[in-house]
Amino acid sequence: MPLRSVSAAYLAHAGDLASNPGQQAAYDSMGHCVVLAGPGSGKTKTLVLKLARIMAEDVGAPRGAACITYSQECARELTRRLERLGLREAPNLFIGTVHGFCLRHLLMPYGRLADLPVPFPLAVATQRQADQAMKRIGDRLFGVGHPPPPHGCLRHSVSGRSPPQG
């Protein structure tokens, strides 16, 4: 559902930012916004209200907005708070991680232009699939039973088909 059709419920909460000049400045800023502050300082609240305002007042089709974070947990929290304001998922809004943004908006649409072998449909490997792939790689490179490769090598694995058996 397009966010424009939703009431301006965010305005009732935007007044809460007036008591904090930093939050108010971030909310009122035009263009890109990066909020750097300590825990519990109201970063998420400020970003959610700013994003709600941007979607309601500034972004018209075919334009869109992206709210990029570093963790899935943060992306889920941003989405939950937007939903509390009555804002639902929209095709012109991306809320997610850096990796998700690159995958959905760069690799998938433009990978074929660079002759990258991007399988379709693309699926992100589960943690179990990533751990199994890491074990197979370790077994092939270092021998069966050898300690696995360094932690984190496949943390952002992408899989388009079943892994090769061997």
43 known ligand binder: yes
Same domain? For 102 and 150 the reply is no
126 known ligand binder: no
62 known ligand binder: no
Quick: pLDDT tens for 10-63.
888 888 899 999 899 989 988 777 788 888 888 889 989 998 888 888 887 788
Same domain? For 14 and 90 the reply is yes
Quote the number of domains for the chain: 2
Cis peptide before 62 (omega within 30 of 0): yes
Name the residue range of residue 152's domain.
Answer: 123-159
Same domain? For 134 and 109 the reply is no
Same domain? For 64 and 29 the reply is yes
Residue 165 lies in a domain: no
The CA-atom distances, in angstroms, between 14 and each of 9, 18, 22 are 9, 8, 13
The strand pair at 65-69 and 123-124 is best described as unpaired
Contact 158, 116 (CB under 8 A): no
Q: Say whether pTM exceeds 0.85.
A: no
Residue 164 lies in a domain: no
Q: Is the dihedral of CA 142, 146, 148, 150 positive or negative?
A: negative
